[in-house]
Structure 1
């Protein structure tokens, strides 16, 4: 089974423009992320796929592997699908470009899902973590997921799901963490399928997979990603990098 990591890297960012090209203790954020993915030794190969000449040149100048997107893309899945269309691979792991502190254990769990999926019942695997704080549960920026008894996703929403009409039944709430591992065929199917109403309404690309019958295996984790979405996040990331590399 050939497993690769692909890091989709857009230059533009609404909250923090050019965040992937910011300095993180001597190297750019995107280079740190790329090097962390390679250092994990989980993948047969690692690529950055980008719409930006700056990011493309940055990765290549550091000895990494970069791919330029040919088309404009609405989602990370679309960008990755175009990049891997002609590659002979089995599983593609989407690594977030703004999370240089890669959690190797979580990625290993996603890969294990496919190594154990001998009947090929899993199209995608992704992560979720339990949330208990009511403010976090209500926050529409925290995407919630509900699963069946086999941990396959039933639905994702920005709304509170399940709705707590009865509060004393022991319901657990899970936040979706947007790190995916795809079977390549599921990714290529996504690329050719149209956006339908659920995805358009919630602005969640994972709903396209569910609307067209793909099966998403969820893996529970305690990991909280350290993403860089603001200048304050970058300051925290620099401090954490210095602490962990003393």
Structure 2
């Protein structure tokens, strides 16, 4: 099974423009993400997918494999779809470009179910919420699965709602995804025909497009407390953590 890793990278982030190129201890953030992905033995290749010449040129300078994609994609997953059409693979793993401390073992967790279940088309990760503030934070997608770990729903609201007891573990989404090519083809074609799914559009959570159309999304629990760089404050935290590791 040929498996590739793809890191979508946009320059025009609404909250933090240019963040793939921000400096972390002498290297741009996208370099750190790429290095973590290269440690995953399952990957035949790792690519950065971007629509911006500044990111493209910097990747080339740093010997990072990079693919220039369209600037008209509705979602990051659509960008992954374009790469999947250009680079034949049996499994495409989407790794976010703003988590430079993501551990290789966490990435591998999204791959493992495909070795066991040949019928599986989509995987995603989740981790137990440790900070109670995140339960009510709308920027944190909460995950609800059935007893087998198949996704039932994701929401930015507090769910399930603790009506009778607070003795309940909440889980949040970790944005590493595994896609078979046919799943990506569905995602792209659906978007071209209908636009975003109803729940997907309301919650602004891309994986809901699969769930609300009957796809089984296998969620895998991981112990991951990585920091996503969404703001300059997040960047300072990551810089401090990287300095301590060196």
Alignment of 1:195-214 (within 5 A): 195-214=196-215
Which residue of structure 1 aligns with residue 148 of structure 2? 150
Which residue of structure 2 aligns with residue 128 of structure 1? 126
Aligned partners of 2:70 and 2:79 also within 8 Å: no
Alignment of 1:180-199 (within 5 A): 180-193=177-190, 194=194, 195-199=196-200
3-state secondary structure, aligned to 1:85: helix
Alignment of 1:75-154 (within 5 A): 75-118=75-118, 120=119, 122-131=120-129, 133-154=131-152
TM-score by length of 1: 0.93
Cα displacement (A) at 1:186: 0.5
Alignment of 1:1-246 (within 5 A): 1-118=1-118, 120=119, 122-131=120-129, 133-167=131-165, 170-193=167-190, 194=194, 195-245=196-246
Cα displacement (A) at 1:135: 2.7
Aligned partners of 1:31 and 1:58 also within 8 Å: no
Question: Which segment is superposed worse, 128-137 or 143-152?
Answer: 128-137
Structure 1 residues 242, 172: closer, same or farther in 2, change over 3 A? closer
RMSD of the alignment, in Å?
A: 1.5
TM-score by length of 2: 0.93
Aligned partners of 2:128 and 2:170 also within 8 Å: yes
Q: What 5-or-longer segments of structure 1 have no aligned partner?
A: none
Cα displacement (A) at 1:70: 2.2
Cα displacement (A) at 1:71: 4.2
Q: What 5-or-longer segments of structure 2 have no aligned partner?
A: none
How many residue pairs match? The answer is 242
Q: State the alpha-carbon separation in 2 of the partners of residues 192 and 218 from structure 1.
A: 24
Q: State the alpha-carbon separation in 2 of the partners of residues 116 and 146 from structure 1.
A: 23
Structure 1 residues 240, 113: closer, same or farther in 2, change over 3 A? same
